[in-house]
Structure 1
Amino acid sequence: MTLVRLAPSLVLAGALLAPAETQEATADKVPARLTAERVAALPVAQRPAWTAYLEASDAARAVDHAALDRELRGLGTNPLARAPLGRSMDPWLDKGDAWYASDEARRIADVVISYQTPSGGWSKRLDFTGGSRQPGQGYSAEGDWSYVATFDNDATTTQMQFISRVFDAAGRTTDRDAFERGLAYVLRAQYPNGCWPQVYPLAGSYHDAATFNDDAMANVIGLLDAIAQGRHRIVAPEQREAARASAARGVACVLAAQIRVDGVHTAWGAQHDALTLAPVGARAYEHTGVDAAASARIVELLMTRPRSDAAIRAAVDAAVVWFRATAMHGYAYEKGELIARPGAGPLWPRFSELRTNRAIFGNRDAIVRYDLSEIVPERKYGYGWYTTSPARVLDAISRWQE
């Protein structure tokens, strides 16, 4: 196993609206929640944009709640009925053109649109195979107001892609309207510094962090790129320009968030504080660290851009150096177990400690652990602690560099 020890100080690239600041390795203490109190502590010139953002988030949340409150009053019932739990929309995103013109595709599109929140997004892990959302039924399968709405687990971006495909085949106004509401939601959810939270309207806690975990920001920027490039015929030219500008700001925030150690760029965390862009933890077992899986997807996104852009070239090249330095050889990860196996690899810990690059793990007690054997079965086998994702980058990098 290769272990690279890095220098003790950690310096983060500055947020676009905030100065760069030094972060110690105890970055779990950095608050992830975006609050009015934190915004009030910003330099005067930076406050208006963030204050307006918080106000818009509050207004969007009020709209969502008011819509369901009206339904419940009309029914004379409470509480909400939870939405049905489902799986990924991926199987519906690669059908042939003829299928998107079918009655089945239009029926599914109607169900998808019925779960669009008044603010314009979607929750995650919804079942769209059944009937449409009924009055008094919530928008989330996770809980009454959990992940309403979100970019987590491919939510919102995949619904928009599917609706766009159905529109291309059928040309329905309802699909266009839903897509446009979704695009407006994506643009509103973008932070003043160009990043996106996991959940919008803001839900507090780590959900407010700029989220690279589960490819959330990469998926959003990828969707905006596709819109800007005209691959979604559902949008008007002015919307393409808005998408292009939003994607460019998103990429700038990605570059600003890249972790630096003693002035040397490495990769990215799963979440970064919205204001400082310092890496932060999330759930109790997800500690602050470099996230190899999220970083791989970010680099793949950056590699879709011209190598002639010096900032992008530097970010990609630095991340590749980090991937190569931290790659583990001679190990396989199968069914929750790390197994010594000659010739296996490369493999990366999902989370690496900021200063040392040691693999870090966690149970639900929020204690950092360095040995997978110390993780209880529920977390050991219920979470992916190692990843091969950076191998895709290493396979492709020589072609991109040329």
Structure 2
Amino acid sequence: MLHIRNGHIFKVAIITSFLGVFAGNAPAIAQDSGHGTPKMAREWRNFVKEKSEIWYASPEAANIANNILLYQRSCGGWPKNIRMDEPLSDSQIAAVTDEKEVTQDATIDNGATTTELTFLAKIFNVTHRDEYRSAFQKGFLFLQKMQLANGGWPQFYDRKGYYTHITYNDNAMVNVMNLLKKIADRDTVFTRITTDENAETAKKMFDKGIDCILKTQIIVDGKPTVWCAQHDEVTLLPAKARAYELPSFSGSESAEIVVLLMSIPNPSPEVINAVNGAMAWFDKTKIVGKRLDEITNVEGKKDRRMVDDPSATPLWARFYNLDDMRPFVCDRDGVKKYDISEIGYERRNGYAWYGEWPLRLYPKYDKWQRKIKKVK
């Protein structure tokens, strides 16, 4: 666990929390507005979420399911940023088939694997086809194999470089844990395609994941705050990923972690303390009186700038310094800057540096607090 006291960062021994719950430098794909996940990945996730139960009995759904089966790697996972609903030509089918044994791109990043597993569960509920159940079970096993001994999940199956880190970035680990919670809770979407043994396994995996979340929460002057987008597999300290993703407090990924923690029924004192600490940190670090403006620059291109606006909705930065909690941005050279205008056009517009991510937590937090008080 990382402790910060009086601005000085140091590591302390990690004490496993008792849980009374069931408990790089390569160029990135260009992002658009939103959390930071590529548009195609978000559209694919929304596609799966929005389709009705009746639609899953359609020929179109069956064709998409065939694509999902085709893209599933031999290790059980799927590659990211693929619209599985797009028809494939014969040559494309042959190319994907040839890549079946490739495991380097099997990932949980950008909703990959968890989205495909959800689709398989939904189509199995109306078709009962064994190949969908088999593919789902293989994918579920993939998530088991991916989980680290410390309870976290890395971004990719084949781990090297920063892919070895516990990955909260773009909600990779949270997406997995939300899926596991549904399986463990016997959510109706997953009851037919899973077994009671699967549910028990999912519960244990979820418990380990929560323990990892509690152990990686950054402590400042004895108080829990939030998390980095990724943490070292061994030390559990905040870790660097791509050149512009430096060790920091995360205003984005931490919000989704808090949503997950608040979804736990009968939370332990450790979970309650973690949520309260994170919400206090969000309140302390919100940016007021500023607005991220979308403009057209002198070259006729869409651009971003930060402007003064006393009436603006509070914003949070994606990254904050670990020593003084100052918001920063960063170009591909890895040098911190404190004004978005100081980084190049490509990174300025190709990454979600500021957002309202924690804003939706406040009504949820008020409701959660009332519930906790009633239990006490």
TM-score range, shorter chain: 0.7 to 0.9
Q: Which residue matches 1:190?
A: 147
Please say if 1:340 is aligned against 2:308: yes
* Separation (CA, whole Å) in 1 of partners of 2:293 and 2:13: 38
Q: Which residue matches 1:313?
A: 272
* Separation (CA, whole Å) in 2 of partners of 1:217 and 1:360: 24
1:127–1:16 CA distance, 2 compared to 1 (3 A):
farther
- What are the equivalent positions in structure 2 for 1:7-156 lying under 5 Å apart? 7-11=6-10, 87-88=41-42, 89-90=44-45, 91-128=47-84, 129-131=86-88, 134-137=93-96, 148-156=105-113
1:10–1:268 CA distance, 2 compared to 1 (3 A):
same
Aligned length: 328
* Separation (CA, whole Å) in 2 of partners of 1:188 and 1:139: 23
Render the CA deviation track for 1:183-239: whole Å, top value 9, x for unaligned: 00001100001000011121x111110000100110000000011111202101101
- Which amino acid is the alignment partner of residue 10 of structure 1? I
TM-score scaled by structure 2?
A: 0.82
1:345 shift after superposition: 2.0
Calculate percent identity across the aligned residue pairs.
36
SS in 1 for 2:54: helix
The answer on whether the counterparts of 1:195 and 1:250 sit within 8 Å (CA) in structure 2 is: yes
* Separation (CA, whole Å) in 2 of partners of 1:315 and 1:218: 16
1:383 shift after superposition: 1.0
The answer on whether the counterparts of 1:210 and 1:271 sit within 8 Å (CA) in structure 2 is: yes
SS in 1 for 2:93: coil
1:358 shift after superposition: 0.6
Q: Which runs of 5+ in 1 are unaligned?
A: 18-84
Q: Which residue matches 1:258?
A: 217
Q: Which residue matches 1:375?
A: 343
Please say if 1:355 is aligned against 2:323: yes
- Structure 1 outlier segments of 4+, above 4 Å: 11-17, 144-147
Q: Which residue matches 2:173?
A: 217
- Which amino acid is the alignment partner of residue 216 of structure 1? A
The answer on whether the counterparts of 2:73 and 2:103 sit within 8 Å (CA) in structure 1 is: no
SS in 1 for 2:351: coil
SS in 2 for 1:225: helix
* Separation (CA, whole Å) in 2 of partners of 1:153 and 1:176: 23
- What are the equivalent positions in structure 2 for 1:158-169 lying under 5 Å apart? 158-169=115-126
SS in 2 for 1:279: coil
Name the Cα RMSD after superposition: 2.3
1:282 shift after superposition: 1.1
- Which amino acid is the alignment partner of residue 251 of structure 1? I
- Which amino acid is the alignment partner of residue 8 of structure 1? G
Please say if 1:296 is aligned against 2:255: yes
TM-score scaled by structure 1?
A: 0.77
* Separation (CA, whole Å) in 2 of partners of 1:258 and 1:395: 23
SS in 2 for 1:93: helix
- Which amino acid is the alignment partner of residue 158 of structure 2? P
The answer on whether the counterparts of 1:100 and 1:169 sit within 8 Å (CA) in structure 2 is: yes
1:182–1:12 CA distance, 2 compared to 1 (3 A):
farther
1:145 shift after superposition: 6.5
